[in-house]
Every structure is written in structure tokens, then in C-alpha cells.
Amino acid sequence: MTKVLFVCLGNICRSPMAEGLLKKKVAEQDLLDSFVIDSAATSTYEVGSAPHPGTQAILAKEHVDTQEMIARQIRQEDFQKFDWIIGMDQSNVADLKQLAPIEAQEKIQLFLSPVIGKKAQNVPDPYYTNNFEETYRLINEGLEKWLELWMENDLK
């Protein structure tokens, strides 16, 4: 079982987009039972909110239901529960490393780190850029690489 938590600032744009798209991809490969997939925020700004309308529109095009998606802040137990805690930008990663206990530090990764040529690149926050298509493109590209990595490791 591979347990993945995507994290961004507010949990209304990037991390729910990654959560929804990964759930769709693993379901298409009949691997949903091999994964636990969730998302969270580093901040409390949007706790209790639905995904941003721009994220909802992207996910609707992909036939991903957002009804159950409610923004939440990361909790200490998440650092024990999840194998992979993936921040969408370097600021998220820095915040996560401050919050995480020592034994969970290695679980924290930058979303685009497995993408060749984009190792240090951030996924832009469409809340500020209003470019949901670019964010979608980068998330889709990153998810393909993460899936390859997890498959190579036999979903451990």
C-alpha cells in the first residue's frame, strides 16, 4: 500500500487537483486498492472550503468528482500515516519540514523532483496566476513520473 499526501498552501487548488488526478489514474489501472491518496494545506486560510472553481472546472473535464473534497490543514498524525508527503512548491516543502518530526523528514518531497529538468521547479499556484491549465499540465506530467517511481518500487 502506497500512502500519498499532496500539500499546498490552501488545499483548494494544486493539492486537490493532484489528489483527484492521481485517484483517476490509479483507478484506470485498477490500482485504487493499492493506494491511499489525500491532500492538505500548510495554512488554515481555506479550511472547510471546497476546491477553487478553477480546480473544479479542470477536474470536471477529467470526470473527477470534487464533492467530497474539503480543505484541511495537515495534522501531526499525517506524518506517521503517509509514506510520501509531497509539497507543490519549495515554500510548502520548507513549511512541512518545520512541522514534521525528525523521523518523517525523508517522506517530504517536492512535487516536480522526479521530472528530469524540473527538479527544483515549483508548481505555480493558480490562485495567484489564474493559469489553471499550466498547473494542470505540470501536475499531470509530475504524476506520470511519480506513478513510474511507485510502480518500479512495487508500490511499497
Active site residues: 8, 14, 125
In single-letter form, the type of residue at position 86 comes to: I
- Closest Cα partner for 125 from 115, 114, 139, 113? 139
In single-letter form, the type of residue at position 143 comes to: L
Quick one: cell of 62? 477529467
Q: DSSP for 2-30?
A: EEEEEEESSSSSHHHHHHHHHHHHHHHTT
How many CA atoms within 13 Å lie on the side-chain side of 26?
23
SS3 content of the chain, % helix, strand, coil (to 5): 45, 15, 40
